[in-house]
Structure 1
Amino acid sequence: MRTMLAGRLHLDTRNFSVEEVPVPTPGPGEVLVEMRAAGVCLSDVHLIDGTLTPATPTEKVARSQRVTLGHEVAGVVHALGPDLTGHWAPGMRVVLESGRNCDRCPGCARRRPCRQPLTLGVDYDGGWADYVVARQDTLVRIPDHLPFDQAAIIPDAVSTPYAALVRSGAVRPAQSVGIWGVGGLGAHAVRIARMIGAVPVIAVDPLPSARERALAFGADLALDPADPGFAEAVDDATRGRGLGVAFDFAGHPAVAEQAVPLLTPGGSLVLVGLTPEPVTIKDSVMFTFEGKQIRGHLGSLSDDVEQLIALTAAGRLDLAPSVSARVPLAEAAEAVSRLERKTGDPIRIVLTR
């Protein structure tokens, strides 16, 4: 029996370790991908510490109480399962989408949005492994000149803020934008907002290093949320207009309290960062009178990943600065610890083989 290394989380004990497990066999409509790069996300940390848990685990994960982590994965097609309908061949360079439809719910039956989407590396085995099985409809080809470590982080680290800005926030050129939290997702939100043409792009983070990074990534202004002159600085930067759209990538209730009063009439706050804490609106009268909105956002669509691959491959979006470190798969636990402690203030740590 062939074996491989895999970063496995024991859901019953929340114990994470790199273990030797059998190499999986692709089933009908599936492909076996040899992992070349896999991103380490804060949600992986939250899965390990128990803050997050699989919402719709597959029968295999539910029965074994074990799952291989990793939802940002790029690699090479290694072997093909039966009954493939696409044109796949060993050696093709691919990136995996970070989830898949359940194919069982009423939404899937009617070709509508899936009501119970499954997340790679959460609900089914992900890519922190030498090899990972992927359904063919979750694979996207990548060009030869796009490095694996940059391609790997496109699903989620880049596609989630991209979809938040383009879809949920519907950001337009010359529109004022505020971005709270300039970590792994927020840093890319700053770059995407500038690429879209938002003006001004205001980044908000309590960490001086994060504010410096935001400016390097194209923010017009970077503010400390605790600055006594915070509201006045936003007013000056927007020439009294306020923020057309604000984005919470920090996942902190205080963001809404600070951002909502700064929204222009008709403006929106888009919640991207996850928190179990309630979001409170202090003045609901003015909120309603001015037609403001609060929207939730999660993940991205297949089109978003394909568009970002095209933008990155064409040089419109340089993701090289986003790869903070490359760590061997065997040292995945250390990579998780480094992210949890924010050692070096990383944007994305990438596991490699």
Structure 2
Amino acid sequence: MEKMLAARLHIPSRTLRMTEVDRPEPGPGQVLVKVRAAGVCLSDVHLIDGTLTPLLLEGDTVTLGHEVSGTIAATGPGVTGWPVGRRVVLYAGEVRDGVTYTRGVDYDGGWAEYALSSADALTVLPDAIPFDQGAIIPDAVSTPWGAITMTGAVRPAEAVGVWGAGGLGVHAVQLLRAVGACPIIAVDPSEVARERALAAGADLALDPADPGLRESVEAATAGGRLAAAFDFAGVPAVREQALALLAPKGRLVLVGLTDRPLTVADGTRFSYLQQRILGHYGSDMPVALPELLRLTQQGRLDFAGSISEVLPLSRAAEAVDMLNRKAGDPVRLILRP
């Protein structure tokens, strides 16, 4: 059997190793994809540092990588409509017996030379979109898209705050601009991230430590505060700050992951103002991915600036370290087999 290189995480020891493994063979209803680009996400970092743990993984080792693009290499029995060589983007997960499994978490992902996918868990990548940009759309773009359009239900001209202008938040700014939110206020402690948010379309970018933050938000919203606030940082202090800036009936959407508790400082005020806290995870892939690919193909969205660096697959551990340390303030690092 042919071998391939893969970045495999041993869950009990949280050890990431580059390993030669058997190249998988597609079974019934599956396709084999030659990986051309795979994104490195903060979720991958959290899997390695133990903050996140797979719930549905069979065994104790998994190939990481849930942001994947490539070309069809082979198809299994019963699969039609996917010719060899077709450019594709893989969904970040698959539904099996009514349960959602996350690629690169609950089953082997795309930090490898080849990856398996169910034939109904991928879509065509238009020729106009490079593999690098296509790879990040299933999470770094579709997750904030789902948070904005579905969970947060943002409407045109609504005032919106984005806490955390990193790999998800900076895309949220661009997407909020696309759906007509106004004003868009980004909040991040990093000056580089704030500048990045302004370049992506934010109307205002603030430091969360700024003692005049509340006054700045109220001035930008003509005293109306925020109809919606999005936490992409996963930090309790961020959530408390965002809650304090919500308008009546405003909603706080939690996208960043944390195992820390959330505190509502004034429950009576929260209830009186009929505010809401909404959890969000992932997106509706069959709907979101084609929408985003179409918007990108037509020039409404541009993620070229999100690709901070491309590294060979063999340097996966280095890429994880760079993202963990925020070396160079990356948005997305890409691994290329």
Normalising by structure 2, report the TM-score: 0.98
Asked if 1:264 is matched to 2:247, the reply is yes
How many residue pairs are counted as aligned between the two chains? 336
For residues 290 and 342 of structure 1, the distance between their equivalents in structure 2, rounded to whole angstroms, comes to 38
Extract unaligned runs of 5+ from structure 2: none
Asked if 1:141 is matched to 2:124, the reply is yes
Find the residue that maps to 1:286 and give its secondary structure: helix
Find the residue that maps to 1:150 and give its secondary structure: helix
CA deviations 1:184-241 (Å, max 9, x no partner) are 0001001111111111000000111111111111100000011010100000000000
Matching residue of 2:235? 252
After TM superposition, where is structure 1 displaced by more than 4 Å over at least 4 residues in a row? none
Matching residue of 1:274? 257
Matching residue of 2:26? 26
CA deviations 1:80-121 (Å, max 9, x no partner) are 11122x411101000000001121xxxx3xxxxxxx310000
Matching residue of 2:307? 323
Matching residue of 2:197? 214
Say what the alpha-carbon RMSD is for the aligned residues. Answer: 0.8
Matching residue of 1:8? 8
Amino acid at match of 1:326: V
Find the residue that maps to 1:137 and give its secondary structure: coil
- Asked whether the 8 Å contact 1:45–1:340 carries over to 2, the reply is yes
Amino acid at match of 1:351: L
For residues 260 and 244 of structure 2, the distance between their equivalents in structure 1, rounded to whole angstroms, comes to 20
For residues 262 and 66 of structure 1, the distance between their equivalents in structure 2, rounded to whole angstroms, comes to 43
CA deviations 1:155-181 (Å, max 9, x no partner) are 010000010001011111100000000
Find the residue that maps to 1:101 and give its secondary structure: strand
- Asked whether the 8 Å contact 1:32–1:77 carries over to 2, the reply is yes
Extract unaligned runs of 5+ from structure 1: 109-115
Give how far 1:305 is off: 0.9
Amino acid at match of 1:88: W
Amino acid at match of 1:79: A
Give how far 1:17 is off: 1.5
For residues 63 and 328 of structure 2, the distance between their equivalents in structure 1, rounded to whole angstroms, comes to 26
Matching residue of 1:94? 88
Normalising by structure 1, report the TM-score: 0.94
Matching residue of 1:40? 40
For residues 72 and 124 of structure 2, the distance between their equivalents in structure 1, rounded to whole angstroms, comes to 10
CA deviations 1:27-52 (Å, max 9, x no partner) are 10000000000000000011111111
Give how far 1:286 is off: 1.1
For residues 129 and 38 of structure 1, the distance between their equivalents in structure 2, rounded to whole angstroms, comes to 9
